[in-house]
Structure 1
Amino acid sequence: MELLHSGKVRDVYADGEDLVLVTSDRISIYDVILPTPIPDKGKILTQLSLWWFDQLADVIPNHVVSATDVPAEFAGRAIRCERLDMVMVECIARGYLAGSGLKDYERERMISGNLLPDGLVESSRLPEPIFTPSTKEPVGGGHDAPLTFDQTVDRVGKELAEELRRVTLEVYRRGSEIAADKGIIIADTKIEVGRSKDGTLKIGDELLTPDSSRFWDAGEWQPGQAPRYLDKQFLRDWSTKHTDWDRTEPGPEIPDEVAEATRNRYVEVYERLTGDRWR
């Protein structure tokens, strides 16, 4: 196989007409890869994505060709998939006020051109989920930048922009319903989509994982307070509170106990959502 691309978390290999997408244990925050891996992370993300691909196959098709026809050394953490012509827009849906969305709201009462009512606080549920796309910058190319819907139209055309919005919000809606039954809130999520050879729009990369989504424990959620994070926001908060890191390379080493606590959150999300015990 030929290595085509090494991203923040995934390595992409060419194997004939297919691609083999290998998920590593690397973790990135603020667009910087940290030097310490999170044990089992690659396998957890891969298996959880495969579970979600099955759950949401009727919302949008996906790029999976096989989860087993991969090199033995990558078993459990790799997917054989179609080559897609990726849309160069990060498709983000938000249902709650958190992260950069909270900062934007506090500054201008809107997120990516979506005007929101006064009186919302950290962790507030939004009146309805909103589509808040962003640019998709390459590794080392800087931070992704927010896009309004009109700016997305300028980039990809009106028809595709409207379809991206529809699919993203439907993925979020359906995923949120499934997660709610397991006591988990999906505060926001991002997806990546592309077109197959026949022009079909399909989802690629990963789906509704702790790397691409904010997961909160529903039983501990309360507007105005930071929830218990079941995703990598836990690691972002650690870097802010316990290091003097300036969010540029190189990133800080992660202490063993923090790496283990991060892993435990990924395992908890996997087990609660799928109902399966992580081996």
Structure 2
Amino acid sequence: MTLPLPPERPVPDRLARWQAVRVTDLPLELPGYTHVYSGKVRDLYAPLDAEGRPDEERLLLVASNRLSAYDWMMSPEIPDKGAVLTRLSLWWFDQLADLVPNHVVSTDVPDAVAGRGVLVRRLDMLKVEAIARAYLTGGGLEEYREKGSVSGVVLPEGLVDGSRLPEPVFTPTTKAPVGEHDLPMAPDEVEAELGVEVAAEVSRLTRAILARGNEIAAERGILIADTKVEFGLSPDGTGGLVLADEVLTPDSSRFWPAEQWEPGHPQPSYDKQFVRDWLTSSEYGWDRKAGGPPPELPGHVVEQTRAKYVEAYERLTGETF
């Protein structure tokens, strides 16, 4: 299937609250590569040819150990987090290969980023965060309580925190720059940004990825409440959507232990929700709406966060990290 490129148009103006972002590490000096971009968690480098020109078809994607919560970069970093995200994404790309192609070219990368770096195809990334929900919680729960729906999808009455939805629903948001909040997008906004055909395919694939993920994860004792994925298109406009960045990781998804699932209250998790909960707990009591920066993460929170990421990886893949 060949999809048209999204129409070229400016992103609609939206109110957004900016926050300062603390970046805890600088781009690496990688011989044969030049730094292109750093996001909240990942850094991009371009391979250089013999004459020092950037490769126009490939990029080196490196997952850092940075952790983002509530649009702030946490400090200190979480040891081994980048390697967990990379290895788990590679595992999931294999499980999803029959659903959608992915951007991975090779895992042959410089030693300095071995285990957390991947060579990938250059793509024109879609300017939409593709999110699907299989269970009701978080921002989706807040919207449901107010409107009885999530992103325009009317849901049954009587749902509570942790309720399983009849089927996965597509709940996209804007893709905000570092330090700015992602905001919910209505179906017509997504169509205006991507075009009707591309928007429909993004919705279908996002929901299919979450459904496949839950089929596999449930056998391993994990429920995937929701997930965020990213898609791109080949710069020449040929071919269909390509799955990029990461997929079904503790950074991009909510992982719940199946044996402890009990609708009606927040669920224990294997993901960075653990850090969010600590930030707003009675132990520290950070008021994220006040505008001030979050605290440094104490050692026990860093250690427990790493342990949760590793446990999620090991339960899903059956491999020892």
- In structure 2, the partner of 1:155 is 193
- In structure 2, the partner of 1:236 is 276
TM-score for the superposition, normalised by structure 1: 0.96
Segments of 4+ in structure 1 off by > 6 A? Answer: none
- In structure 2, the partner of 1:28 is 68
**1:136-215 equivalences in 2 (<5 Å):** 136-140=175-179, 142-197=180-235, 198-215=238-255
Give the paired residue count: 276
| Bigger mean CA deviation after superposition, 192-201 or 143-152 | 192-201
Structure with the higher fraction of residues in helix conformation: 1
Larger-gyration structure (1/2): 2
Structure 1 residues not aligned, in runs of 5+: none
**Secondary structure, aligned partner of 1:208:** coil
**Secondary structure, aligned partner of 2:246:** coil
Write the distance in 2 (CA, Å) between the matches of 1:254 and 1:32: 12
**Secondary structure, aligned partner of 1:58:** coil
- 1:249, distance to aligned residue in structure 2 (A): 6.0
Structure 2 residues not aligned, in runs of 5+: 1-32, 48-54
Write the distance in 2 (CA, Å) between the matches of 1:104 and 1:12: 35
**Secondary structure, aligned partner of 1:127:** strand
- Deviation string 1:173-204 (CA, Å, 9 cap, x unpaired) is 11110001101000000100001243431011
- In structure 1, the partner of 2:317 is 274
Write the distance in 1 (CA, Å) between the matches of 2:207 and 2:192: 20
CA contact (8 A) 1:34 1:250 kept: no
Sequence identity, in percent?
56
Write the distance in 2 (CA, Å) between the matches of 1:76 and 1:246: 36
TM-score for the superposition, normalised by structure 2: 0.84
**Secondary structure, aligned partner of 2:88:** helix
Partner amino acid for 2:249? T
Write the distance in 2 (CA, Å) between the matches of 1:106 and 1:36: 35
Partner amino acid for 1:11? D
- 1:129, distance to aligned residue in structure 2 (A): 1.0
**Secondary structure, aligned partner of 1:260:** helix
Aligned counterpart for 1:256 among listed residues 276, 281, 299: 299
Partner amino acid for 2:132? A
**1:27-66 equivalences in 2 (<5 Å):** 27-66=67-106
How big is the alpha-carbon RMSD for the aligned residues of Structure 1 and Structure 2? 1.1
**Secondary structure, aligned partner of 2:132:** strand
Write the distance in 2 (CA, Å) between the matches of 1:269 and 1:149: 33
- In structure 1, the partner of 2:8 is none
- In structure 1, the partner of 2:122 is 83
